[in-house]
Structure 1
Amino acid sequence: MRGPADFDALVDLIYEAAVVPEVWSDVLDRVAAATGSVGGVILAQGRHGLQWRATGAILTHMPEALSGGWMALNPRPARALALDRAGFVHDHDLFTEAEMAADPVYGFLRARGLGWCTGVAIPTVADDAIVFSWERAYAAGPFSTEAVRALDPLRAHLARAGLIAARLGLARARSIVATLDLLGLPAAVLSPRHRVVAANDLFAGLVPAVAQDRADRIHLADPRADRLLVRALDALVPASHPEAVASIPIAARAERRAMIVHLMPVRGAARDVFAAAASILIVVDVRQGRALSADLIQGLFDLTPAEARVARGLMTGGTVGTLAGAQGVVPATIRTQLKSVFAKTGTARQADLVAMLTGAMIGPEAL
């Protein structure tokens, strides 16, 4: 920062980022420009897993650092938290030259032309922490103590803005489930680690018989439905399993009707490092014997209009042949559409599909 005006403008930007997540990238870039860094990163780690936003060269190497497990090995955040300094730190505050030379993470960074950082680690609640860090090119040499001390006045503003952003994220999660409660829908908001961060009373009534919030993730008590849930949760990671179902049938039992669980991503959450909500789980029951309309079937299972017509036709007694004749297409077209319906509804046979759509019992052989 060249002067008080630049500092004040940066502070204003930090508080804007608390409510407009996209602005964090501007904050990272402005500090990088002022400190001769090649990029910056925000890490939010704790109960909801590791979330991050990066710019510049750090963004370039972040996917490799994550996939290779280097972020899990990175000793910098733990050392900075243990130091408990009310300000920014740099590498020589945390490690000796010998430690850096022997550390594999520093080896990873230096092999990519990086390896000098300055940053601040801010503990929040429980085991959560927020880390702001900027990286210099290795050839440029380490940050000087004077340059690091010049950043210290930013710490309090970054801490407050991070706390505001985290609380806003939780407030949004609670607002979502409260609204769905008014609509009569059991719902839970899930964190990026697929744990429940907010749930309405209707959803609480389904615990533990239908859903269970365990240490690793949310589970469905029905084993078959839970396997489909795992696929759907994995599909929240971009491009991992694009064919995974987002609407999951749960077999009826003597004490309750069949149910359908819908998993929906919270759009934009991946861009917000402080987001409490990554997805929403909504549960609806299927009234036994009720013939669902094609429009409702389409909406429940994310089907195309043609796929919904095939599902509705089978439910009302049609066959592949009769449906093909009625629609003026060859039977192979209907079979292709039916294959897609099976994938999206998590069923494998026409009998299971019809039974699920009408709310009838899905037998043990389908589990």
Structure 2
Amino acid sequence: MNTGEGDLLAALHDGLSDQPLWSRFLDMLANATGASGASLLLRPQEGPIVHLSSGRVLPPVLQQRFTDTRNAAVLMREGRVYALPELIRDADDATIIAALEAQGLAHIRSLRLTDASATDAWLTIAGDRDFGAAAGSLLSRLGPHLKIALNNLLALERERRQASISSEMMGRLNFGWLTIDARCRIVDQSPNVQEIFRRTSLLRHGRYDRLTFASAAIDRDVAALAKAFAHDVHARPRAFRLSQDPWMDMFVTPMPDRRPSTGSQPVAMLYLSGDRWSRDDRCEQLTDLFGLLPSEARLAWAMAQGRSIAEAAQDLGLTVETARNYSKKIYSKTGAGGQADLVRIIFTSVLAII
């Protein structure tokens, strides 16, 4: 393999990071073959056709010839390189020839591939002079690598969609994670953690990327845990209550899968979970959702936090007898069969994701 072809392959496999996709590869392909233009047409099973190009653009009539029929194999066999005369089928194709000649693209070589999602792709070079056998041979050798790159794009888009959905759900549940090194510097974090930093003063992204806490005691404890985890991956994890209203908890555990890294080595994983709403906000939402009176909603929320009726009564300044009467009305309005059922009903309602 000559150096030029090696550079082409490197640009092809690195093309997922280009904007637009594969722009450098198409530039290099046009230069390597002496083409006036190089293009990549992508036709997914659903959605719009994508046209990526360098130099002169293929006329729309030729693009339409490639993409019109749903059975692309009828026109072009996968993996075979075609010249223009092989794609001309009838007298009406004179329009295609005229359009190409008008743009100085009287000669083409084109290759069709299909990726794992059944997306058809056409890699085409075009110019005003005929291409030799070397250009067709180059396209043929690039074909398997282009197919790998297309499948990598498919996998990357799938991962992005899944990550986006997961991130949205973690945000709705007010859950996030981050990793820190032995000096409490943030190494990585879920996308929604930045929103948590913005919304609360309980913890923040400090100077030099250090994770800091409003509570000096928690700050010291987490720093000590990070140092301990750096030396002992089996050290005991620890949970922290960062706030009661709105509640926010944190669980700190040794990094489960440590791999060699050229950057900071993460030693601890921190899971954050909490509520973006205050107790008063939640009581208003319970009132709206279940038709509870404000006094009943306050008791229901306290019970949902795991407080017994007696403990909740004391917190709210109620007698136990009054709290028991309220609880009966709460169970009736929510359809709960008891406190455990009440907790389930509240935390499987829409309140859990707002």
TM superposition score category, shorter chain reference: 0.3 to 0.5
Structure number with higher relative contact order (C-alpha < 8 Å, ≥ 6 residues apart): 1
TM-score (structure 1 length as normaliser):
0.41
